[in-house]
Chain A
Amino acid sequence: MGSGPSLAHPDAPGKGVFIIPGEDGEMLVPSVVALDANNHFLVGNAAREALLTTPDRAIYSVKRLMGRGMEDVQQELKLFPFHLAEDLAPGEVLRIKLGGRAYTPPEISAQILRQLKRNAERFFGAPVKQAVITVPAYFNDAQRQATKDAGRIAGLEVLRLVNEPTAASLAYGLDRKQNGTIAVYDFGGGTFDISVLKLKDGIFEVIATNGDTHLGGDDIDNLLIAVAVEDIAGDLKMNVRERPEVVQRLRRAMIEAKIALSSQESAAIDVELPGGVRYQRTITREMFEPMIAPIVERTLAPCRQALRDAGIEAAQVDEVVLVGGSTRIPLVRRKVEQLFGRKPHTELNPDEVVALGAAVQAQILGGGSEETKDMLLLDVTPLSLGIEALGGVTAKIIHRNSTIPASATEQFTTGVEGQTSIAIHVLQGERELAKDCRSLARFDLKGVPPMPAGLPRIEVRFLIDANGILHVSAREQRSGKEAEIQVQPSYGLTDEQVESMILDSFDNAEQDLAERQLIEARNEAETILTALRKGRRSEAWTMLSFTEQRKIEGAETRLRQAVAGTDHGLVRRAIDELNQATMHLAELMMDAAVGGALRGRNMETTGIEEGPAAPHPIGKAEFS
């Protein structure tokens, strides 16, 4: 689940791991969600278009809002075109206004996950119910919980949350099969992570991890947009700050320029502004690099801290792996090479390597294939877990970089005679004072047997599971009674809220599903019927026997009838029938195309559109 693109990935035992494409054939699904005119959700490339036309009905980089409150996102909101609900209280989960309703970040993320789920179901032709979802290593408990909630709302059982750098190392490890120390530098759209791992005989042991969940390619984009906005205000005397559609147009242009600058020395920008005026300028690498240098510099301190925590020098790292689209920037690569004193690995596609790794983890969870049977991931919790103690200080109970699952037990007692509940405030972070740490949750231990003050002995057990999520249980030792715990998650959804969101989406799901399946089936039918029309006009048609031609025509009629109806199963069967009937025709057309190519004729005159390498709509014709 990226701030930038998200990917779906199948786990098919026996096959290698690979990426599956979306409906539009693209591998990457931009993490953009929008509402169309009918208040239906659009996800991915379609939603990205909506950003330009109706930016107030679109959301991108929702990952940056997960597990966060109003106080945290003030800076980012300035450049985001969407708006928060007005009545938000501090500590409350965010709500974003979209088309007359308000949605929480997990609900928005769930839309993206649903889309990925659909892509996977299309590929397999079967329901997909479970998922492994990746998160930044530096995500705190609230952010992880929000991601899990998003999965549930999308109708997926989240088998495991995997840290992104660790996932990347799995993909890399599968690829290389070498022991040693690896540093994974993961610079994505919204977050930065650095992880130091030890690989030994298939065990991937994370030694230390660090990062910044508020640092990514988005910050570079925002910087460029700010420059553009200032340019326009200065040179063209136009204030476009209040015009979200214009800002989005600028954003798209700046992102394209940024990408171009990774392989070119300069990039030209040409954006149409209101009134027919154009904003035109060229950005060179010479201008670009000093601009973004401070942002890149911010990634180095977490790297140094992680190395210190791991107890090693930069030079002792055997391999450095780059992950995330932002690592394509030459300046970033130079800085990383400087820090570690060696060239980082870039062979694996930095956009895809995390999804590949997640698929490997899914294979491990599924019982392992031949390749993965000796592999095991040992990850760590990135932040120290503490409890607020008297005087507002944090008492650390589980230290950062502890291998998970990890646990700690603390004793509590009452301060007042007859007290039946104890309030506990759980925090994450490294600072001394509670107010400087991240509030995870407040627990109320209820059902403490009434006794004189100081007598009850409550043992509270904190357990961080393999997902990096905290579970708490408590027992009064004398009576052996299990205390009841009521959780108020900070910036999160309660179980009830998630349940009702699942039901909400479920009510629509059944109907949605049938509708969607019919639409998809009809689309496929249209494709094959169009191809058949062309096929009819080709020479190959004349080479078919009379019987074959009649058979095709019969199947075609039945397909047209099915398409006019509402039974998607019927449409599918009719498609299959027509496919079968046209197989010989397809072969003949292929032969003609190849023959034609050899004789110098082009594709059009032979009556087919796509080249031989593409999956042909009329029949199965593969050149391998």
Chain B
Amino acid sequence: MRAEHFCGECGHVQPASPTDYFSFFGLPRRLELDEAALEREFYTLSRKLHPDIYSRASAREQAWSLEKSSQLNDAYRTLHDPISRTEYLLGLEGIELEEQSKSATEKARAAGVEKKQSVPPELLEEAFELSMLLEEAKAGGVDDDLRAQLVSTRQSLTARLNAMHDELRAAWKQWDEGDSAATAAMVDVLNRRSYLRNLLREINEVLNS
């Protein structure tokens, strides 16, 4: 059911009511979606809601257009990207992702607490090797040899990261068909992905310094 953006009678912008991003676009809560169609709808709604269109309208309409278009942009940004769409839907379903997430990291850091780190098993060995390399880098700087090793590790981790997208899409299909076991699969992929990204970030920090 699409959220009511415009009054059926007078066609004017309606005050933004709290609504989830899927209903904003009149979409069902499914993970697979036609991204091209979403983009078209985003453009169509932008043409109707953007503040530029209301620059000569009443102050009230301008305020509502500002609210509405920020909601539109937030919704599009979240649904458009496969990862944020998955996280968002899981959130709507009340599922908490593990504490690998960035916001959890920030929360923990803000509270001055050590965040929980559970290493995905298949990455254990690589994570260990990488931490050795990073120690070396911190201690003695990055020589050509070390640089080559780090670049090669980055490449293999990036390949793994890209492979996760396929895993995720498979899980989506399951979930959309109503198989709730898919939830656990998606949470797992997202957590492992998060961990991988942290590793890659550390490598890049060392390589770019």
Binding site for B on A (CB under 8 A): 159-160, 200-201, 203, 361, 364-367, 374, 376-378, 389-391, 393, 395-396, 402-407, 463-466
Contact B50 A406 (CB under 8 A): no
Contact A365 B52 (CB under 8 A): yes
Contact B46 A463 (CB under 8 A): no
Chain A residue nearest in CB terms to B69: A405
**Interface residues contributed by chain B, number (CB under 8 Å):** 23
Q: Could you count the A-B residue pairs with CB atoms below 8 Å apart for me: how many are there?
A: 70
Contact B109 A203 (CB under 8 A): no
Chain A residue nearest in CB terms to B43: A203
Residue-wise interface mask of B (41-64) relative to A, using a CB-CB cutoff of 8 A (1 in contact, 0 not): 001001100111101100000000
Binding site for A on B (CB under 8 A): 43, 46-47, 50-53, 55-56, 66-67, 69-71, 73-74, 76-77, 106, 109-112
Contact B110 A466 (CB under 8 A): no
What's the Cα separation between A367 and B112 when bound, in Å? 53
Contact A465 B66 (CB under 8 A): yes
Contact A463 B110 (CB under 8 A): no
Distance to closest chain A CB from B209 (angstroms): 14
Contact A466 B43 (CB under 8 A): no
Chain B residue nearest in CB terms to A361: B52
Contact B112 A389 (CB under 8 A): no
Query: Which one of B43, B55, B71, B110 lies within 8 Å of A389 (CB-CB)?
Result: B110
What's the Cα separation between A243 and B52 when bound, in Å? 50
Q: Contacts A159-B55, A378-B50, A393-B110; is A403 near B66 (CB within 8 Å)?
A: no
Q: Contacts A160-B55, A367-B56, A390-B111; is A466 near B50 (CB within 8 Å)?
A: yes
Distance to closest chain B CB from A562 (angstroms): 40
Contact A377 B52 (CB under 8 A): yes
Distance to closest chain B CB from A404 (angstroms): 7
Name the B residues within 8 Å of A377 (CB-CB).
Answer: 52
Name the A residues within 8 Å of B51 (CB-CB).
Answer: 405, 465-466
What's the Cα separation between A396 and B109 when bound, in Å? 13
What's the Cα separation between A169 and B134 when bound, in Å? 44
Distance to closest chain B CB from A83 (angstroms): 38
Chain B residue nearest in CB terms to A432: B109
Distance to closest chain B CB from A367 (angstroms): 7
Contact B106 A389 (CB under 8 A): yes
What's the Cα separation between A259 and B53 when bound, in Å? 41
What's the Cα separation between A163 and B71 when bound, in Å? 22
Contact A160 B52 (CB under 8 A): yes
- 12 A-B residue pairs with CB within 8 Å: A160-B55, A361-B52, A376-B50, A390-B110, A393-B109, A396-B106, A405-B69, A406-B77, A407-B70, A407-B74, A464-B70, A465-B51
Contact A466 B52 (CB under 8 A): yes
The 9 A-B residue pairs whose C-beta atoms are closest, nearest first, are A405-B70, A389-B110, A407-B70, A403-B73, A365-B55, A466-B51, A390-B110, A405-B69, A203-B43
Q: Contacts A203-B46, A405-B73; is A376 near B110 (CB within 8 Å)?
A: no
Contact B110 A406 (CB under 8 A): no
Name the A residues within 8 Å of B56 (CB-CB).
Answer: 365-367
